[in-house]
């Protein structure tokens, strides 16, 4: 019988509500598989910052390192600057724990209203591999002469190592899927970082002759994510491009409330982190209407990483059934179910498997 210690940072806004439903779904699978999960709920986030002046305690990183994985809800509050929530917790976690693979699937489920015309369930099925530790989000730069005249310098950082390892991870995924990989670039304008990216992508492609490889400018990719999203299989992109394109892929598959993600340290030297893409959504916080399926599907990605593949598949099958049969849909999916009612439906389907 396997046992896993999971750090839980539910965070802000709708984070606590959706993460609780993910935990319930995972615990429901545990009754079937006999796996044990120890949930260490850590009260870190904006409220913790307002009480202590810190987004996490001094020993916070050492605490997280002791866990097998991290289940993360959301971070961000209108009354706390992003320079605290994002730049002192979320982005440093990805770099400190070398979670260089940001994995974001997008799938059009049966029963989900698609904003695009004539798209059949399953016709949109892509996964984006986003570089997660450098690129445009590297904390390199500064501001000078605040006020007028002011200078702000933000430097994108592309290393051969960083490019190669995310591109190679994407090729490995493509080899296991439909053997089609698209690399996102803007080397016609960004003539240093993106040219290095393109160079490395072409070199790595030589090791995967069985995978069809193509390169696409990010503006063309944005159009094709809407115009013909079914053509994409595995997509690999830099930090910024991957971030933006995956919000688009979430919406063309029905809702950001279905968008799961994994921040993976492939070496397992450090814990990986799993979170819904949607963020803290302060506009609907406290209303009990947030869609928990992105968090629940992120939990399934976590189970994949923990090699609990049977449990992960239980969750995915339960999500498919709840959506296809419209058992419980939140308002973003044209339903009227509450967050907890969707969680109830998922647990009920799993319990009857």
Per-residue pLDDT of the chain (353 residues; tens, 9 = 90+): 799 999 999 999 999 999 999 999 999 999 999 999 999 999 999 999 999 999 999 999 999 999 999 999 999 999 998 888 888 999 999 999 999 999 999 999 999 999 999 999 999 999 999 999 999 999 999 999 988 889 999 999 999 999 999 999 999 999 999 999 999 999 999 999 999 999 999 999 999 999 999 999 999 999 999 999 999 999 999 999 999 999 999 999 999 999 999 999 999 999 999 999 999 999 999 999 999 999 999 999 999 999 999 999 999 999 999 999 999 999 999 999 999 999 999 999 999 99
Geometric angle at alpha carbon 296, from 107 and 285, rounded to 5°:
105
Q: Which CATH superfamily includes the segment(s) 1-100+262-353? A: Isopropylmalate Dehydrogenase (3.40.718.10)
Active site residue 243: yes
Catalytic residue at 219?
yes
- Contact indicator for 105, 233 with CB cutoff of 8 Å: no
Per-domain residue ranges of the chain = 1-100+262-353, 125-252
125 is catalytic: no
From 219, 231, 287, 334, the catalytic residue = 219
Residue 192 known to be catalytic: no
Residue 9's nearest CA partner among 60, 59, 45, 58 is 45
Give the CA diameter of the chain. 66
Return d(Cα 89, Cα 80) in angstroms, integer: 13
pLDDT of residue 60: 96
Tokens 């394109």 -> residue: 245
pLDDT confidence of residue 85: 86
For this structure, is 186 an active site residue?
Answer: yes
- C-alpha 325: how far from its chain's center? 26
Q: What is the DSSP letter of 77?
A: B
Report the pLDDT value the prediction gives residue 242, as an integer from 0 to 100. 98
- For residues 188 and 167, what is the distance between their CA atoms, to the nearest angstrom? 20
Which residue in the list 37, 100, 107, 137 is annotated as catalytic? Answer: 137
17, 107, 186, 304: the active-site residue:
186
Could you confirm whether domain 125-252 is CATH 3.40.50.300? Answer: no
Residue in 98, 125, 198, 247 annotated catalytic: 247
Say if 1-100+262-353 and 125-252 have the same CATH topology. Answer: yes
Q: What is the per-residue pLDDT for 308?
A: 98
Give the orientation angle of helix 309-324 with respect to helix 339-351, to 10 degrees: 120
Other Cβ atoms less than 10 A from the Cβ of 291: the count is 29
Task: Check residue 205 and give its pLDDT.
Answer: 98
């Amino acid at each position: 019988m396997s046992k896993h210690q999971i750090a839980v940072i539910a965070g802000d806004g709708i984070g606590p509500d959706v993460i609780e439903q993910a935990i319930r779904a995972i615990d429901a699978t545990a009754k079937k598989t006999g796996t044990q999960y120890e949930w260490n709920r850590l009260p870190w986030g904006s409220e913790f910052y307002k009480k202590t002046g810190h987004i996490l305690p001094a020993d916070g990183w050492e605490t997280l390192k002791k866990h097998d994985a991290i289940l993360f809800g959301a971070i961000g509050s209108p009354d706390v600057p992003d320079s605290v929530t994002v730049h002192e917790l979320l982005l440093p976690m990805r770099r400190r724990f070398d979670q260089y693979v940001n994995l974001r699937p997008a799938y059009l489920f049966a029963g989900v209203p698609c904003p695009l015309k004539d798209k059949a369930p399953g016709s949109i099925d892509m996964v984006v591999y986003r570089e997660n530790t450098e690129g445009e989000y590297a904390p390199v730069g500064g501001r000078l002469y605040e006020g007028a005249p002011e200078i702000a310098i933000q430097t994108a950082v592309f290393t051969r190592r960083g490019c190669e390892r995310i591109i190679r991870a994407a090729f490995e995924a493509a080899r296991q899927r439909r053997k089609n990989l698209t690399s996102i670039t803007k080397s016609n304008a960004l003539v240093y970082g993106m040219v290095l990216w393109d160079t490395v992508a072409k070199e790595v492609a030589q090791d995967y002759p069985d995978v069809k490889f193509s390169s696409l400018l990010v503006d063309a990719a944005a159009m094709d994510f809407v115009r013909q999203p079914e053509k994409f299989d595995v997509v690999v992109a830099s930090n910024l491009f991957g971030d933006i394109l995956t919000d688009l892929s979430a919406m063309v598959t029905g809702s950001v409330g279905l968008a799961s993600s994994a921040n993976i340290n492939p070496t397992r030297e450090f814990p990986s982190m799993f979170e819904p893409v949607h963020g803290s959504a302060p506009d609907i916080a406290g209303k009990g209407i947030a869609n928990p399926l992105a968090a629940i599907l992120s939990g399934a990605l976590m189970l994949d990483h923990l090699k609990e593949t049977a449990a992960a598949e239980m969750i995915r099958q339960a999500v498919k059934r709840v959506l296809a049969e419209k058992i419980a849909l939140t308002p973003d999916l044209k339903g009227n179910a509450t967050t907890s009612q969707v969680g109830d439906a998922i647990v009920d389907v799993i319990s009857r498997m």
